[in-house]
Amino acid sequence: MTPQRWNQIKALFNGALEQPIETRAAWLQRESGGDATLLADAERLLRSFDTLGGFLDQPAQVAPEDVSQATLPGGEGEGAGWRAGDRIGEFEIVRTIGRGGMGVVYLATDRRLHRNVALKSLPASLAGNPELRERLKREARAAATITDPAVATVYSLEEVEGHLLLASEYLDGRTLRAVIDDGPIGVPAARQIALHVARGLRAAHDAGVIHRDLKPENIVVGPGGTAKIVDFGIAWLQHPTGAPQTKLTHEGAMIGTPAYMAPEQLIGGTPDARTDLFAFGVILAEMLSGRHPLVAPAPDSAAARDALARQLQAVADHARHPDPTQRFGSALELLAALEGLPEAAGTTVAGPPVSDDGTARFWWEFHQGAAAVSYAVLIWPVWLARAQIGGLEGRGFFIATTIAALMASMLRLHLWFMSRQHAAELAWARRRSAPFIRAADIMLVVSLVIGAGLVAAQSVLDVVLLGLAVGVAITFAFIEPSTARAAGLE
Amino acid sequence: MKAHHELMPLVYDELRRIAARYMGRERPGQTLQATGLVNEAFVRMAVERTREFQNRTHFLAIAALSMRQILVQRARAKRASKRDAGGHQVTLNDISAPPSAIRPEFERPDPDRPGDVDVLALDEALSRLAAFDPEAAQVVELRYFGGLTVEETAEAVGVSPATVKRQWTMARAWLKQALEAEPRQP
């Protein structure tokens, strides 16, 4: 049937349905204009309509077990059907971890070494292509030489019962995609993940391996905020014959990997180390803003106020420059730029400050430490004042002031420690302790003022206590906010 | 809808996960309406993977196509296994299944019984319909395999609900006649 013919039948069919049933036959006769086949077709359709009953009225029914066993037509490797307990060579399947364009990934136990591995069953189509297999072997061998904590270790490439299997380190964690989708990552955590990924890239590039498909889905974030890159050496399998399909749908929505591809790769050029750097830049920008940079080009205002976020953004922009020659020259350069940023856990704070922000951070830390010490020392004049005031009031004054001073002092020591040892979590620690520090400071000021009022008039202690109260108030209200802002913490 | 092939694995994954959960709850052979499965998949995916889909109907369209493929795949496998067994075996699965699923493959379906549709024949007829009226074929795919309402279908196809109703009526009439006219090949 041709579409034209169908349209004619359609017009007759729909027209006839609007006619009263008694005159329908006559109407059809007239409208079909003597075309007997057309008339017959329309009449047959109308008869079918009259007896439709419940035909297709209820949506399809489906058995859950059918769906759970379904495999993508043509898209999945042959190993798609393995179940827990199945043995493939020396591997015993534990469960399916995921499925992708390249095949199915299982958690399996290598019975020779009694260790868990991520077992990827590669497309069966590879078996028939000696050239691709040769390349796969070469790349897997190269990938296996990368030994870096930030890269999932490739254990072996094996051929078992006609299946091509790639065994690699099993990682317990979530993909960076899931982490980003969960909400804001926080600048320090983004920095830490970026550092790990940059280290992984550097190690891989040193070993002569390019990833070619770096994306949040290929980065696994572990429990301690450590990040590892997976799929080194095999990402090219997804598009073994050349450029991938375009990533943009007709409505401009970002789909799949092309969102992380460098311009030169998108137009079919040969990817090199700088292609990975581009993907890195896009990922870093996405971590900072929570959205793909093409979707949300400008970082949000809160992040922009953060000095560290601004610097990370600059690194991201440099890494994802459209012109490959304008990017970082290598992963090593990129890593150096990231490590040069302040707040490096244990790297910059120990040495001389490396930048304006490093100096500011130093002053902020100095201030926290100094305040912590002064508040502890302040207990001594308070002790003297207690003796002067005497009685129950003296005791009350001493206890209240000491508690406030110790609280304010210890919380600041805690922040100082976090800044030196766990820079990545400083922002979180500051947020959490802020209300307690504020309460302790206010309590300290108030009790010092009350104490000054209670001390006998002839003593100089009232002046000392008032002075201390003013000092604490100024610290709390002015000095601390400015050092924190200067250090990029606000 | 160009990106179907890229999003399909995601939808399959989700459908498989949900189905696996149902298997633990229901007795063997129990069937579900595609609508429920597809909607549940959407709700779950909307939380995790919104960015991949342009909108709900974009997702539903892919899910409907997935369901069609899954049902056809399953029907083919069943037919193949029955043929291997001499064509007369009724499996345990079939016995515990509701009436619509008991029908052995070699028996002609009764088109007057709702839900009793030969999936392979329908799939084949639908492909023929798509050759001269792709829009009507998509309406059937969305309505029958995806369980979409008229309004949802209208949104997914980009036409008015009234048009969808007309296409739906006529496509059903044509499909019923096509299924009756050509007895299935054994």
Q: Return the bridge partners of A220, or none.
A: A175, A228
**Maximal C-alpha separation, chain A:** 125
For residue A61, what pLDDT is reported? Answer: 81
Measured distance CA(A195)–CA(A228) in Å, rounded: 11
Q: Which band of pLDDT confidence, cut at 50, 70 and 90, is reported for residue A195?
A: very high
Asked if residue A132 has pLDDT above 50, the reply is: yes
Spatial contact of A415 and A430, defined as CB atoms under 8 Å apart? yes
Q: Which residue has the tokens 């019923």?
A: B176
Candidate ranges A215-229, A262-276, A446-460; pick with highest mean pLDDT: A215-229
In chain B, what residues touch A72 (CB-CB under 8 Å)?
8-9, 12
Contact: B22, A99; criterion CB under 8 Å: no
Q: Are B176 and A58 inside 8 Å of each other by CB?
A: no
CB A161 within 8 A of CB A181: no
DSSP-assigned letters across all residues of A363-417: HHHHHHHHHHHHHHHTHHHHHHHHHHH-HHHHHHHHHHHHHHHHHHHHHHHHHHH
pLDDT band at A388 (very low <50, low <70, confident <90, very high): confident
Q: Which residues of A touch B132 (CB under 8 A)?
A: 1-3, 5-6
Contact A487, A361 (CB under 8 A): yes
Q: How far from the centroid of its chain's Cα atoms is residue A288's Cα?
A: 9
CA distance A331 to A206: 9
pLDDT at A23 over 50: yes
Which residues of B, range 15-44, sit inside 8 Å of A by Cβ? 15-16, 18-20, 22-23, 26, 28-35, 37
Q: Contact A56/B147, CB-based, under 8 Å?
A: no
Q: Does B109 touch chain A (CB under 8 A)?
A: no
The whole-number pLDDT of residue A197 equals 96
Q: Give the SS3 label for residue A30.
A: helix
ipTM: 0.72
Q: Give the per-residue pLDDT at A403.
A: 94
Cβ A79 vs Cβ A102: under 8 Å: no
Whether A458 contacts A486, CB under 8 Å: no
Q: What SS3 state is found at A312?
A: helix
DSSP A249: -
Asked if B30 lies within 8 A of A51 by C-beta distance, the reply is no
Q: Is the pLDDT of residue B88 over 50?
A: no
* CA dist list (Å): A485 to A35, A39, A176, A305: 85, 83, 30, 9
Burial-class residue A218 by CB neighbours within 10 Å (0-12, 13-18, 19+): buried
Compare A130 and A238 and report the one with higher pLDDT: A130
pLDDT in tens, A262-289: 777 766 667 788 989 999 999 999 898 8
Q: How far is it, in rounded angstroms, from Cα A227 to Cα A193?
A: 6
Q: Report which of residues A383 and A133 the model is more confident about.
A: A383
Question: How many DSSP H helices and E strands does chain A contain?
Answer: 18, 10
Q: How many CB atoms lie within 10 A of CB A352?
A: 8
- CA-CA distance, A134 to A212, in Å (whole number)? 18
Whether the pLDDT of residue A133 is over 60: the answer is yes
Nearest alpha-carbon partner for A286 in A320, A244, A331, A251 = A320
* pLDDT above 50 for B86: no
Q: Span A424-442, mean pLDDT?
A: 84
- Averaged pLDDT, B46-67: 70
Looking at the predicted structure, is the pLDDT value of residue B99 above 50? no
pLDDT at site A242: 39
Quickly list DSSP for chain B. Answer: -TTHHHHHHHHHHHHHHHHHHHHHHSPTT--EEHHHHHHHHHHHHHHHHGGGSSSHHHHHHHHHHHHHHHHHHHHHHHHHHHHHTTS----HHHHHS-HHHHS-TTSPP-TTSTT---HHHHHHHHHHHHHH-HHHHHHHIIIIIS---HHHHHHHHTS-HHHHHHHHHHHHHHHHHHHHHSPPP-
Averaged confidence pLDDT in chain A: 80
Q: What is the pLDDT of residues B102-149, one digit of tens each?
A: 333 334 444 444 456 788 889 989 988 988 888 999 999 999 988 888
Q: Per DSSP, what are the bridge partners of residue A165?
A: A121, A158
In the predicted model, what is the mean pLDDT of residues A17-30? 89
Q: What is the pLDDT of residues A472-486, one digit of tens each?
A: 899 888 888 888 877
- Laid out side by side, the sheet with A219-221 consists of A174-175, A219-221, A227-229
Q: Alpha-carbon distance A375 to A468, whole Å? A: 9
User: Hey, what's the torsion of the CAs at A350, A356, A361, A367, to 10 degrees?
Assistant: 110
The H-or-E segment that residue A480 falls in is helix A480-486
Q: Would residue A110 show up in a list of annotated catalytic residues for this protein? A: no
- For residue A128, is pLDDT > 70? no
Would you say residue B91 has pLDDT above 50?
no
Please say if the pLDDT value at position B80 is more than 90.
no
Yes or no: say if A164 and A136 are a contact pair by the CB < 8 Å rule. Answer: yes
Backbone angles phi, psi at A282, to 5 degrees: -65, -45
**Residue A441: predicted pLDDT:** 92
Contacts of A17 in chain B (CB under 8 A): 169
Taking the C-alpha atoms of residue A210 and residue A204, their distance in angstroms, rounded to an integer, is: 7
Query: A248 pairs with which residues across the strands?
Result: A254
Phi then psi for A170, rounded to 5 degrees? -85, 130
Q: Which has more pLDDT, B176 or A346?
A: B176
B5, B60, B91, best to mutate vs chain A, most A CBs in 10 Å: B5
Q: What is d(CA B128, CA A469) in angstroms, rounded to the nearest whole number?
A: 88
Give the model's confidence band at B162: pLDDT under 50 very low, under 70 low, under 90 confident, else very high: very high
Considering only CB atoms, B9 lies closest to which of A14, A57, A72, namely A72
A4-18 per-residue burial string, b: 16 or more CB within 10 A, e: under 16 = eebebbbebbeebee
Is residue A140 exposed (0-12), middle (13-18) or buried (19+ Cβ within 10 Å)?
A: buried
Residue B101 has pLDDT above 50, yes or no: no
Torsion of CA B13, B18, B19, B21, to 10 degrees: 130
Residues from chain B that touch A81, judged by Cβ atoms under 8 A, are: none
User: Comparing A295-304, A306-315, A326-335, A341-350, which segment has the lowest mean pLDDT?
Assistant: A341-350
pLDDT of the residue at A249 = 28
Task: Please check whether residue A131 is in contact with residue A174, taking contact to mean a CB–CB distance below 8 angstroms.
Answer: no
Specify whether the CB–CB gap between A38 and A2 falls below 8 A: no
Instruction: Report the pLDDT value the prediction gives residue A238, as an integer from 0 to 100.
Output: 54
pLDDT of residue A357: 53
The answer to whether the CB atoms of B16 and A67 lie below 8 A apart is yes
pLDDT at A247 over 60: no
In this structure, are residues A18 and A47 in contact, taking their beta carbons and an 8 Å threshold? Answer: no
Residues of chain A found within 8 Å of residue B140, distances taken between Cβ atoms: 56
* Interchain contact, B70 vs A73, CB within 8 Å: no
Q: How far apart are CA A271 and CA A27, in angstroms?
A: 68
**Three-state DSSP state, A122:** strand
**pLDDT top residue among B176 and A254:** B176
Looking at residue B164, its pLDDT comes to 94
CB-closest option in B8, B32, B132 to A62 = B32
> Taking the domains of chain B in order of start, what are their residue ranges?
4-181
The nearest alpha carbon in chain A to B149 belongs to A59
Is A247 within 8 Å of A256 (Cβ atoms)?
Answer: yes
**What is the pLDDT, as a whole number, of residue A245?**
35
Can you tell me the distance from the alpha carbon of A62 to that of B97, in angstroms, rounded to the nearest whole number? Answer: 11
- Residue A298 confidence (pLDDT) above 50: yes
- Residue A305 predicted with pLDDT over 90: no
When pLDDT is averaged across residues A440-461 and rounded to a whole number, the result is: 86
Please say if the pLDDT value at position A196 is more than 90: yes
Higher-confidence position of B46 and A405? A405
DSSP-derived secondary structure letter, A287: H
Of the two residues A280 and B41, the one the predictor is more confident about is: A280
Residues B2 and B27: their CA atoms lie apart, in Å, by 38
pLDDT of residue A71: 67
CB A64 to CB B30 under 8 A?
yes
Q: What is the pLDDT of residue A182?
A: 79
Q: A47-56, A147-156, B62-71: which has the minimum mean pLDDT? A: B62-71
Of B23, B115, B144, the CB nearest to A65: B23
- Distance, in Å, from the CA atom of A381 to the CA atom of A18, rounded to the nearest integer, reads 100
Give the pLDDT band of residue A54 (cuts 50, 70, 90).
confident
So what's the pLDDT on residue A117?
93
For residue A468, pLDDT over 60 is answered with: yes
- With CA atoms as reference, report the closest residue to A62 among B95, B167, B120, B35: B35
DSSP track, A178-246: HHHHTS---HHHHHHHHHHHHHHHHHHHHTT---S---GGGEEE-TTS-EEE--TTTGGGGSTTSSPPP
pLDDT of residue B176: 92
B73 touches chain A (CB under 8 A): yes
